[in-house]
Amino acid sequence: MSIGDLIRLLSDGNYHSGQQLGERLGVSRTAVWKQLKKLEAMNLPLEAVKGRGYRLVNPLDSLDGACIVSRLSAETRHHLKRLFVEDVLDSTNTFLRDRFRHGAGHGEVCLAESQTAGRGRRGKVWSTGWGESLILSLGWRFESGVAALEGLSLAVGVVLANVVGDLGADVALKWPNDVLLAVDDEWQKLAGILLEVTGDVEGPCEVVIGIGLNVSASDAVREAAGQPVGALADVVQAPKRNHVAAALIESLLMMLPEFERQGFGAWRADWNRRHAYAGRSIRIHQGSTSYIAEAVEVDPSGNLIVKTEAGEQALTGGEISIRPE
């Protein structure tokens, strides 16, 4: 019995006795009780009613691989080699990097209910509770080399923003890898993107695209973030993770072959239209220094053009972060 099996049973809205759970899961009532005790530690409070049994106070929308695949077009199914849906991983990106090391990985997607060592850009930790986020990684092999991948993370941002925008959310893009959600006249972080690349500068290379999207967010996650955090559930009624996952996989698998042919130029205008800080004053943190500049746009390579007292300059990523002034 996995903790995921128990959570899925308790998420159907019905009460289940300890005996019923044991019979469904093929374990003793004692084993069920030990697993039930773990749920509150995972911030999944139980409702217990004498004579009726247990259920989760807040039922979860569990990931379902068959449901996701059923919503994909025939063309996308051709590009999708394998879909993994896991309960707990250290990192979906690490999972697919290991797949590449074993000769697989291309066209594969990995989703997880929870991560124990999720990470974001600049070594930051991506923290999320069970079932609160859409944690997704996709592997793709490019024949054209690392040099041809300029702007790929921004193109992924455009795809993600379009998928979320189609749900009715008001979103924008923050260079280089965040999707922001408008809530009460404030931009809040909705999603982050992390690309990990291995391979040659001019030869074949392998990319793992990692996405963390807040579908809901507990108070604990918001407080620990250190910045305003938004979630789809803040603005979209009962968002379905399987539907969002299918739309995102569909869009990414259609975009990647085109990106290899056209480069970032085909997505540049869309990114600039969604630029959260265009024409605004921003503070740029680079290493141990920081300075103020005006954000302009991204160039054909995906660099952020800013205006300073010394004139225009291009920010190229790396250990750079920006904040509105």
Provide the annotated active-site residues. 121, 189, 323
Nearest to 131 by CA among 1, 26, 232: 232
DSSP string over 122-167? GG-B----TTTEEEEEEEEEESS-GGGGTTHHHHHHHHHHHHHHTT
Retrieve residue 1's tokens. 């019995």
Cα-to-chain-centroid distance, residue 243: 14
Retrieve residue 14's tokens. 């019905």
The distance in angstroms from the start CA to the end CA of the chain is 51
Cα-to-chain-centroid distance, residue 12: 25
**Residue 17 near residue 10 (C-beta atoms within 8 A):** no
Cα-to-chain-centroid distance, residue 299: 25
Our CA angle for 6, 7, 10, nearest 5°, is 90
Alpha helices, DSSP H, located in the chain: 3-10, 18-25, 29-41, 65-70, 74-79, 92-101, 152-165, 219-224, 241-262, 265-273
